[in-house]
Amino acid sequence: MIAACPLEALPPGASFRLDGENPIALFRTEDGQIFAIDDTCTHQDASLSDGWLDGCEVECPLHSSRFDLRTGEVDAPPAKRAVRTHRVVVDGGTVFVEPSGCDG
């Protein structure tokens, strides 16, 4: 598990980019759910943490692909491949992320 950020750094409707070899985007929906997905759009090299959050979906800021934060699946093209999702735990006011394994 990786300590990503304090919970107060991720208010409802906000995103946070966890930098690393494979950057991860964290999102907190308006109803308080927290999700983590790969930060890079599978269509082109764009940061999803810079995208627009709408319910449990994020829209890529580059070409408007949409991804479901719960599953990583594409909800609108031009992207065709899903992004990986990652497990999130909130403990003691800190948001932790458990990165998923690499795709085979």
**Count of the separate structural domains present in the chain:** 1
Tokens 């999702």 sit at which residue? 85
Query: Tell me: the pLDDT tens digits for 39-64?
Result: 999 998 899 999 999 999 999 999 99
100-to-14, 31, 43, 64, 90 alpha-carbon distances in Å: 22, 24, 20, 25, 17
Q: Domain span at residue 18?
A: 2-98
pLDDT tens-digit map of 62-75: 999 999 999 999 99
Instruction: Note the pLDDT of residue 50.
Output: 96
Cα(103)–Cα(76) distance, rounded to whole angstroms?
22
- Whether 8 maps to a domain, the answer reads yes
Does the pLDDT of residue 30 top 50, yes or no?
Answer: yes
Using an 8 Å Cβ cutoff, are 7 and 93 in contact? yes
Determine contact, residues 44/77, Cβ cutoff 8 Å: no
13 band by pLDDT with thresholds 50, 70 and 90: very high
With cut-offs at 50, 70 and 90, classify the pLDDT of residue 101.
Answer: confident
| Cβ atoms of residues 95 and 7 within 8 Å | yes
Instruction: For residue 14, tell me if it sits in a domain.
Output: yes
Instruction: Tell whether the model's pLDDT for residue 10 goes beyond 90.
Output: yes
Residue 51 in any domain: the answer is: yes
27 in a domain, yes or no? yes
Nearest to 26 by CA among 75, 79, 76, 87: 87
Within a domain: residue 83? yes
Residue 100's pLDDT band, with cuts at 50, 70 and 90, is confident
The answer to whether residue 103 is domain-embedded is: no
Provide the CATH number for the domain around residue 28. Answer: 2.102.10.10
